[in-house]
Amino acid sequence: MADRSRTTSHLVGGFFGGLTSSVILQPFDLLKTRIQQNKNTTLMNAIRSIDSPLQLWRGTLPSALRTSFGSALYLSTLNIVRSTISKGRAQTVKRTNSSYLPQLGMYENLFSGAISRAVVGLITMPITVIKVRFESTMYSYRSMGEATSHIYKSEGLKGFFNGSGATILRDAPYAGLYVLLYEQSKQQLPKVLPGTLIAYDERGMFTTYTSTIVNSIGAFLSASLATTITSPFDTIKTRMQLDPSRFSGFLKTFYLILKDEKPRNLFDGLSLRLTRKALSAGIAWGIYEELIKKFMS
């Protein structure tokens, strides 16, 4: 029963953290997709193409579904993997001042983040494809049902997995790097933050205020670095999902971008993705960590 309750807490924490961040930050995702779909599109051009503020939230439903359920699956899977790795040690869940999550070594964090994200990314790939097409100007779907029907009729089941290889190559390294950096940041940030921000409760844990600051800043910084490193995979993934007839494979897409465009186009939309991923991590992981503490305290 305890294991079931613990898994439920990660599902709930991941769901609400992912849902909140996806709805708030959807405009960044939409603009990033539109910049990546065409090499000549700039941020200002993408903004000018928006007819009304509400259009910035086009694709919110598939985005919210993917991020909320994806985060719930990812964070619960990540916890299972990390808890399994840590079994046999003196303490399965070692509490730090700001977190109740299992504590592992650097390479174990890298592996657990990467394998968990790869599995969940493949499961949620159909929603990702629908989300990207909703956000672009190349398709004019009016509903998820219409998008699903069109993709199936024109491309078959494989259409729902276009860009899956590039997505895994983007998400697995990103998640591995993120977990590694995030766990390190939670240990190092309290040493450099102003003393006025550090406060403890009667159990010797950081107060909610302090732990939220530590976890959110750590998530923000870790996501920023991991996002920059994996940005080319995101551009390749988007091209493959929007125009699979031309960009039919990972290496072919990489070659075409270098041949017909410029190497810097591999980083199209980086500023928007960087802003979105960093803020999303700060919001989602801040909420997630606090909900886990509430469930397990």
pLDDT tens digits, residue range 55-82? 899 888 888 888 899 899 999 999 889 8
pLDDT tens digits, residue range 192-201? 999 888 888 8
pLDDT tens digits, residue range 176-233? 999 999 999 988 999 999 988 888 888 777 888 888 899 999 999 999 999 999 999 8
pTM higher than the cut 0.85: no
pLDDT score recorded for residue 92: 45
pLDDT score recorded for residue 297: 63
**Tokens for 194?**
């102003």
Kindly report the three-state secondary structure assignment for every residue of the chain.
CHHHHHHHHHHHHHHHHHHHHHHHHHHHHHHHHHHHHCCCCCHHHHHHCCCCHHHHHCCHHHHHHHHHHHHHHHHHHHHHHHHHHHCCCCCCCCCCCCCCCCCCCHHHHHHHHHHHHHHHHHHCHHHHHHHHHHHCCCCCCCCHHHHHHHHHHHHCHHHHHCCHHHHHHHHHHHHHHHHHHHHHHHHHHHHHCCHHHCCECCCCCECHHHHHHHHHHHHHHHHHHHHHHHHHHHHHHHHHHHCCCCCCCHHHHHHHHHHHCCHHHHHCCHHHHHHHHHHHHHHHHHHHHHHHHHHHC
Is the pLDDT higher at 38 or at 23? 23
pLDDT score recorded for residue 242: 84
Q: Is 70 exceeded by the pLDDT of residue 91?
A: no
User: What domains does the chain contain, in order, with CATH numbers?
Assistant: 2-296 (1.50.40.10)
Mean pLDDT (the chain) is: 85
CA of residue 62 relative to chain centroid, distance: 14
Q: Is 50 exceeded by the pLDDT of residue 107?
A: yes
Contacts for 276 with CB less than 8 Å, ≥ 6 apart: 25, 28, 29, 32
pLDDT class of 98 with cuts at 50, 70, 90: low
Rounded distance between C-alpha atoms, residue 86 and residue 112, angstroms: 11
Q: Is 70 exceeded by the pLDDT of residue 90?
A: no
pLDDT score recorded for residue 39: 73
pLDDT score recorded for residue 294: 78
The label of the residue with tokens 């930050």 reads 25
pLDDT tens digits, residue range 253-286? 999 999 998 888 999 888 888 888 899 899 888 8
Is the pLDDT higher at 5 or at 84? 84
